Amino acid sequence: MRHPRLTPLVAVAHGSRDPRAAATVTRLLSVVRARAARRGLPGLDVRAGFLDHCAPSLPQVLGSVPDGAPAVVVPLLLTAAYHSKADIPARLAAAAAARPGLDVVSAGTLGPHRLLLAALERRLREAGVAAGDAGARAATGVVLAAAGSSDPAANATVAELAARWARERGWRAVLPGYASAAGPRPAESVRALRDGGAARVVVATYLLAPGYFADKIRDAALGAGADAVSAALGAAPEVADVVLDRYLAAAADLAGRRTSETAVHAAPAPAHERERAAWG
């Protein structure tokens, strides 16, 4: 049952011709709803929209928001690049011009965020990697494999995340790898780690959903001799918590310029969750 007092959360994903991607978004948002209830947001209205290939589109979802009602758009994107910097803002501006009463704000992208590292380690454990063992981490090289972007800043963010992950969690090394648009490719990073003496080399798939890039990363990494390749982050509970962190931060900004009748009424996140959100 939707809560009439809560600002709707419109999660916008890239979209894919691969049906696994949309199914993953559906599962993720189910987890978001369940975890929202645990954070003082029971009945949060969570809707999905897509930028391409899938329905409903972002304009269609925004068109379903009642006149005069606010909405928070949360990009289901792991790095800030073209879609978050230009595409989504342009679509929101067009929607607002078409409906002057629409009050919508966009949250930040999901990454970087400390909880995403926890989600990556969850997926590595599921792939048979002893991510919880400090000794095993010290002997294991990891490739943080992302889609890659024509935006150098987005690729730099992935590289910085890789360095931070290695430093904070004690992996032998963590190198970035990009499936497109930039180098090194995941296979090149696998070979570099192997040549550098890593006893075990694994690949952490830094993608939200399965599909073309996830398959490409897996095939190339295994072909280069990787010992394990994790699945995409998908509906991991940590990802759902990041979605809610981004939503709450943007909703607070939105509520600050609206009357109390339309402000978000939610219990503040616990202190440790606020600290995690601040990291990103």
CB 138 within 8 A of CB 172: yes
Q: Which of 202, 204, 197, 189 is nearest to 228 (CA)?
A: 202
**From the candidate CATH numbers 3.40.140.10, 3.40.50.620, 3.20.20.70, 3.40.50.1400, the one assigned to the domain spanning 9-111+235-279:** 3.40.50.1400
**What's the topology of domain 128-229?**
Rossmann fold (3.40.50)
Within this chain, domains 9-111+235-279 and 128-229 share the same CATH topology: yes
Q: How high is the pLDDT of residue 273?
A: 43
Cβ atoms within 10 Å of 180's Cβ, excluding its own: 13
Q: How high is the pLDDT of residue 268?
A: 38
Written as tens digits, the pLDDT of the chain (280 aa) is 555 478 999 999 999 999 999 999 999 999 999 999 999 999 999 999 999 999 999 999 999 888 778 999 999 999 999 889 999 999 999 988 888 888 999 999 999 999 999 999 999 999 999 999 999 999 999 999 999 999 999 999 999 999 999 999 999 999 999 999 999 999 999 999 999 999 999 999 999 999 999 999 999 999 999 999 999 999 999 999 999 999 999 999 888 765 443 434 443 344 334 344 445 5
Q: How high is the pLDDT of residue 101?
A: 82
CB 237 within 8 A of CB 276: no
Q: How high is the pLDDT of residue 4?
A: 47
Q: How high is the pLDDT of residue 26?
A: 98
Q: Taking the domains of the chain in order of start, what are their residue ranges?
A: 9-111+235-279, 128-229
Q: How high is the pLDDT of residue 263?
A: 38
